[in-house]
Structure 1
Amino acid sequence: MFLWNTPLAKTIKQFEYFDYTVNEALFVSEKEEVTVTGIIKNIEQEYRSNIGKFSQNIIIAQLELLLTYSVRFYQRQFITRKISNHKILHRLEAILANCFNSDTLAKKGLPTVQYIASALNVSPNYLSSLLKVLTGQSTQQHIHNKLIEKAKEKLSTTNLTVSEIAYELGFEHSQSFSKLFKSKTNLSPLQFRDSFN
């Protein structure tokens, strides 16, 4: 109710980190913590004093300032926490390799973003944000890239039909597989296979 009909009420949804889990909390330095604590104290002081009609505007302005600093700290943490972030990336690659090198795709289907995030013990939104910073691609794009890599391998080294390959890679319908393959490679699966003959 406090933010109702304010510009902040409309823009607050853009802050992706509100969907993160507790273990993905914003990591701040001591200096950054002082900044955040100072803003929170200003909000608390204004709320308690409530000196008139401008109190709500002042509190909202302080909240906007707090959120703006949070975005800065949020972006910075992906840069300063490179080692732990790259460990997550390597674990992601291992999970995808395991998924695509097993025979379970036909039974279980393609791994989902939720499945991958859960295996990494992070939220889907955090994982996609992290991957976009590290690689410029979302989790879904990583899954598709691994899929296309495996499809190319099967198309170039086996005599399986496109339908059989699609099924082995977790697709119920070969048309869906062909459409995805073409969107990623600009070639149909058969055109790709023919390029090796």
Structure 2
Amino acid sequence: MHETVKINTVSELHEFLGYPYKPTHPLITLIDFSEINLNGIKSGTRKVFGFYSVVLKKITGAGVIYGRKVYDFSEAALLCMAPEQLSVVTAIEKEAFTEGWGLYFHPDLIRSSALNKSINSYTFFSYNTDEALHLSEKEKSILHLLTQSLKAESSDKLDNYSTDIIVSNIEVILNHCKRFYGRQFITRQIHNKGIASRFEALLTDYFESGKLRLQGLPSVKYCADQLHLSPNYLGDLLKQESGKSAKDHIHFFLIEKAKNLLLNSSSSITEIAYDLGFGQRQSFSKLFKQKTGMSPSEYKNPE
């Protein structure tokens, strides 16, 4: 069993990565990967950072790290991770850490800011590593300018405005990442339509196989696992493709099946609710009315 290393402070992070400079700020750092030394880290080491991470790596010759079959650009990939996520150091990853940069900021930095309330809206922090953002040269240049501005601000002597300005710069960087992911979803429409079709087929099979009665309504996580995606990536992809969330798609399938059963079977509403994976009729009736504007009884027996 490989050891698990927990890194909680910026100083510990610099030491772990073999970065030769002392931190200029206790809660944020921007590390140039061309200046780190990973020779002291064994491949297979499990690491958990207590930081938000926005990491730009070169992928030329090392794209296997991300496992993608389709690339928009081959120059660089951006991977974002939230605190307490486990990752493993691989030999290929160590090779890729020769160019690029890593922005790391502690949750305490944004704790009292508006960004703390909206940080969960940046769903890419929970994407899988093979769902990394692949950047064009223009996008790389934009992020380079933004990160250098952030580095300059966090390296200066702190004053009463420093934290607000630093956090604002972070938010601008995250908003650009959100924009670039939106571009990636668009440029991969053919690839994404294939995923969307597989998702629809998965739901059709689930609903027609009798699993509803045995296992209940499929969760977004269940569907994402079956498609080898992270739940957030699947949800964002479907939102881009159809305007509906993954949960909305699941509910649509459920309501359509419920309508057919209500109109074309002799089963009671309680029996239908049970067949659709609901332990109680009330839960089924509440969702049905929420989605259709009428109760199952009103739909089954219109006046």
- TM-score band by shorter chain is 0.7 to 0.9
- Greater strand percent: which structure? 2
What is aligned with 1:22?
A: 129
Residues matched between the structures, number: 194
Unaligned residue ranges in structure 1 (runs of 5+)? none
Q: CA deviation at 1:19?
A: 1.5
Match for 1:186: what amino acid?
G
Distance in 2 between the 1:158 and 1:40 partners? 61
Question: Is 2:279 the counterpart of 1:164?
Answer: no
Bigger fraction of residues in helix: 1
Amino acid at match of 2:264: T
SS of corresponding position for 1:97? helix
Residue 27 of structure 1: how far off its partner (Å): 2.4
Of the candidates 82, 97, 101, which is equivalent to residue 204 of structure 2? 97
Mapped contact 1:8–1:60 kept (Cα < 8 A)? no
TM-score, normalised by the number of residues in structure 2: 0.56
Moved more, 68-77 or 33-42: 33-42
1:172 is paired with a residue whose SS is coil
Aligned counterparts of 1:176 and 1:182: Cα–Cα separation in 2 = 10
Q: Is the aligned partner of 1:35 residue 2:142?
A: yes
1:182–1:37 distance in 2 versus 1, CA, 3 Å: same
Counterpart residue identity of residue 132, structure 1? K
Work out whether residues 151 and 165 of structure 1, in 8 Å CA contact, stay in contact via their aligned partners in 2.
Answer: yes
**Secondary structure of the residue that 2:217 maps to in structure 1?**
coil
| Alpha-carbon RMSD | 2.7
Could you tell me the percent identity over the aligned residues? 41
Q: Which residue of 1 aligns with 2:193?
A: 86
* Structure having greater relative contact order (Cα 8 Å, sep ≥ 6): 1
How far the C-alpha of 1:38 sits from its partner, in A, is 4.5
CA displacement, residues 115-142 of structure 1 (integer Å, 9 cap, x when unaligned): 0111111111222222222222211111
Matches of 1:51 and 1:112 in 2, distance apart? 47
Q: Which residue of 1 aligns with 2:238?
A: 131
Which segments of 5 or more consecutive residues in structure 2 lack a partner in the other structure?
A: 1-26, 29-108
The runs of at least 4 aligned residues of structure 1 exceeding 3 Å deviation read 4-9, 11-14, 37-44, 50-54, 56-65
Q: Is the 8 A contact 1:182 1:189 kept in 2?
A: yes
Rounded Cα–Cα distance in structure 1 between residues aligned with 2:291 and 2:167: 45
